[in-house]
Chains A and B, each alone.
Chain A
Amino acid sequence: MDWASILYLGVTFGLFIIFVLIVRYTYSRKNREQNEEAKYRMLDDD
C-alpha cells in the first residue's frame, strides 16, 4: 500500500470517527436537555 492510499484510508477513518463522536455527544443522556433546549427557545416571542 503506497502513502497516498494510507492517507486516503486515514482520512476516511478519521472522518468516520468524528461522525461517531458527534452522534455519541448528541445522544448522550448527559447532554439530552441541552441538545433539545434550542427547539423550545426558538419559539420565544420575536
Chain B
Amino acid sequence: MEKPNYNTDIVRSFINWGIIWGLVSIMVGVIVSLQMVEPALNFPPYLTFGRLRPLHTNAGIYGWAVGTTFALFLYMVQRLCKTRLWSDKLARFQLWFFNATIITAAITLLLGYTTSKEYHELEWPVDIMVVILWVAFAINIIMTIIKRREEQMYISLWYMMASIVGVAILYIVDGAEVPVSLFKSYSAYAGTNDANVHWWFGHNAVAMVLTAPPLAMFYYVLPKSTGVPIYSHRMSIIAFWSLIFMYLWTGAHHLLWTPVPDWIQTLAMAFSVMLIAPSWGSVFNGYLSMRGQWHQMRENYLVKFLIIGITFYGLQTLQGPMQAIRSFSAFIHYTDWVPAHIHMGTMGWVSMIAFASIYYLVPRVYGRELYSVPLANLHFWLILIGQLIWTISLWIAGVLQAGMWTATNSDGSLAYSFMETMVEMYPYWWARVFGGIIFLFGVIVFIYNLVMTTRRGEVSPASERTAVEGRA
C-alpha cells in the first residue's frame, strides 16, 4: 500500500498549544496551593482562590488534556486509517477556535462569570464555543475513519470514537440552561435532578476526557515503543465495551448521603465497583504486553512513563470504587483525600501517558531525534516524586481531617472545632506546595528538552521525510 501524505503540521501545532496550556494549569495550581497556606496571596477580585481554582482545572482538563488529545487523535487517526486527514482546513479552524475558546474561558472565569457547576463552570456563550469546537473535531475524525484504507479498526479508534460521542452528549445535556443575560444563565434542571445530571456529566467527563483518550494513546504508543503487539486485542475490545456499558451509571456516587433517591446511589455504588473489571482489563493487557520485554523498563524511557502511568490508572480505579462505597464515602468525602485521588489520576495517569505520547510524537513530526534521554529520565523522576509527595501528604491529611471531624466527646459533642482541623492541615498543605513545585520543575525540564529537540536535535532521516512531506 502506498504511504499516504499525512498532515503532521497540525499535530505539531496542537502539541505546542497543549503544552502551553498545561504549563499555565500547573503554574496556577502551584499558586492556588500557596493561597491555601498563605491567604495574603489572594488578590481580590480577580486573583482569588475562588477564581483561580476553576482556571487551574479548566486549563488542565480542557487546555492540557484536551489539547494533547487533539494532537494525538489527529496523529493516530491518520496512521491507523492509513489515510490523510479528511479536511486540513477544518483542522486548522479547530486549532484557532480551540485557543480562542480557552482564552475566552480563562478571561470569563477570572472576571467571575461562572455557572458554579464544578468542571462545567463556563457560561453559555463559551459553552456554545465548546460545542462548535467539538463538532468540528468530531466531523474531521469521523470522516477520516469513514474514508479509511484499513479494514480492521484498532482498539485506539474505538476509544477515540467513544470519547467524541460521549463528550458531545454529556456536554450538551449538562449544559442545558436558560440564559438571562450575556454572561448569566440558570440550569434547565432543578434540585436533585440538577445535581444528578451534573454529576452524571462530572464523572463521565472523567471517563470520556481523562480515561478513554489516554487509553487510546496507551494502546497506540506502548506497542509502537516496544515494537511488540499488545497481549490481546480481543481482551481490549471486551474491556472497552464493559467500560462503555458501566461507566455511565456511576455518576451518582458523588452524591452519596444526599437527597438523591437511595436506589440511584446504590446503583452508582454497584456499577462503580463493577468498573474495576474493565479498568483492570486494560491494566493487565498492558502488563501482559510486556512479557519478555520488562528489560525495556530500564532501557526505553518511553516504556517507563507508560507502565508507571498504567499502574497509576490501576491504583486510581481501585481507589475510586472504594470511595464510592457508602461507608467509606461517609468518612472521607469532603476531605483532602478526594483532591489527592483526583491528582493521582491527572498527574500520575493522564499526564504520564500524555508526556510519553508527546515524547513519541515530537521526533516523528519534527524530524529530529530527542535532544536528551537523560533529561527525559530526570523529567520522569521529578514528576513521579512531585506527584507522590502531593498525593500521599493529602491522603494522610484527608484521614486526619475525617478523624477530627467525626471525633466526639463522651457527651456527644464534637471534639474539635472546624478551625482546629484547619490548623492541623498546614504541614500537609505545605507538602502539597512542595510536591507541586517539583512537578512544575519536571515539566520545565520536559519543555526545555522538547525546545532543544526542535532546534538542536539530530536530524532523523526517516522521520524527516515524514515531517516534510506532511506539511499542510
List residues of A whose CB falls within 8 A of some B CB. Answer: 15, 19, 22-23, 26-27, 32, 34-43, 46
Q: Which residues of A lie under 8 Å from residue B337 when comparing CB positions? A: none
Tell yes or no: B16 within 8 A of A by CB: no
Interface secondary structure of A, over-half rule: helix
Cα distance, A43 to B156, chains bound together (Å): 13
Contact with A along B433-472 (1 / 0, CB 8 A): 0000000000000000000000000000000001000000
Cα distance, A24 to B45, chains bound together (Å): 59
Interface set, chain B 143-194, CB cutoff 8 A to A: 150, 152-156
> From residue A14, how far is it (CB to closest CB) to chain B in Å?
12
Interface set, chain B 215-242, CB cutoff 8 A to A: 220, 223-224, 227, 229-230, 232-234, 237-238, 241-242
Interface secondary structure of B, over-half rule: helix
Tell yes or no: B245 within 8 A of A by CB: yes
> From residue B97, how far is it (CB to closest CB) to chain A in Å?
28
A22-B238, A38-B155 known; A46 and B233 CB under 8 Å? no
Q: Which residues of A lie under 8 Å from residue B152 when comparing CB positions? A: 34, 37-38, 41
Contact across chains for B237 and A26 when beta carbons are under 8 A apart: yes
Contact across chains for B241 and A39 when beta carbons are under 8 A apart: no
Contact across chains for A19 and B233 when beta carbons are under 8 A apart: no
Contact across chains for A43 and B224 when beta carbons are under 8 A apart: yes
Cα distance, A37 to B80, chains bound together (Å): 13
Contact across chains for B233 and A23 when beta carbons are under 8 A apart: no
Closest B residue, CB atoms, query A42: B154
Closest A residue, CB atoms, query B237: A26
Contact across chains for A46 and B79 when beta carbons are under 8 A apart: yes
Contact across chains for A38 and B154 when beta carbons are under 8 A apart: yes
Number of A-B contacts (CB under 8 A): 57
9 pairs of residues in contact across A and B, judged by CB atoms under 8 Å: A22-B238, A27-B234, A38-B152, A39-B154, A39-B155, A39-B229, A42-B156, A43-B223, A43-B229
5 closest Cβ contacts across the A-B interface?
Answer: A38-B152, A39-B229, A39-B233, A38-B154, A42-B154
Cα distance, A42 to B242, chains bound together (Å): 23
Q: Which of B223, B234, B242 contacts A35 (CB 8 A)?
A: B234
Interface set, chain B 356-387, CB cutoff 8 A to A: 364
Cα distance, A34 to B153, chains bound together (Å): 10
Most buried by B among A15, A27, A32, A42: A42
Q: Which residues of A lie under 8 Å from residue B223 when comparing CB positions? A: 39, 42-43
Contact across chains for A36 and B234 when beta carbons are under 8 A apart: yes
Contact with A along B72-92 (1 / 0, CB 8 A): 000000011000000000000
Closest B residue, CB atoms, query A32: B234
> From residue B222, how far is it (CB to closest CB) to chain A in Å?
11
Cα distance, A32 to B155, chains bound together (Å): 15
Cα distance, A42 to B153, chains bound together (Å): 9
> From residue B223, how far is it (CB to closest CB) to chain A in Å?
6
A41-B150, A42-B154, A46-B466 known; A36 and B241 CB under 8 Å? no
Contact across chains for B227 and A38 when beta carbons are under 8 A apart: no
Contact across chains for A19 and B245 when beta carbons are under 8 A apart: yes
Q: Which residues of B lie under 8 Å from residue A15 when comparing CB positions? A: 245
Q: Which residues of A lie under 8 Å from residue B153 when comparing CB positions? A: 38
Contact with A along B241-264 (1 / 0, CB 8 A): 110010000000000000000000
Cα distance, A38 to B236, chains bound together (Å): 11
Contact across chains for A26 and B154 when beta carbons are under 8 A apart: no
Contact across chains for B238 and A38 when beta carbons are under 8 A apart: no
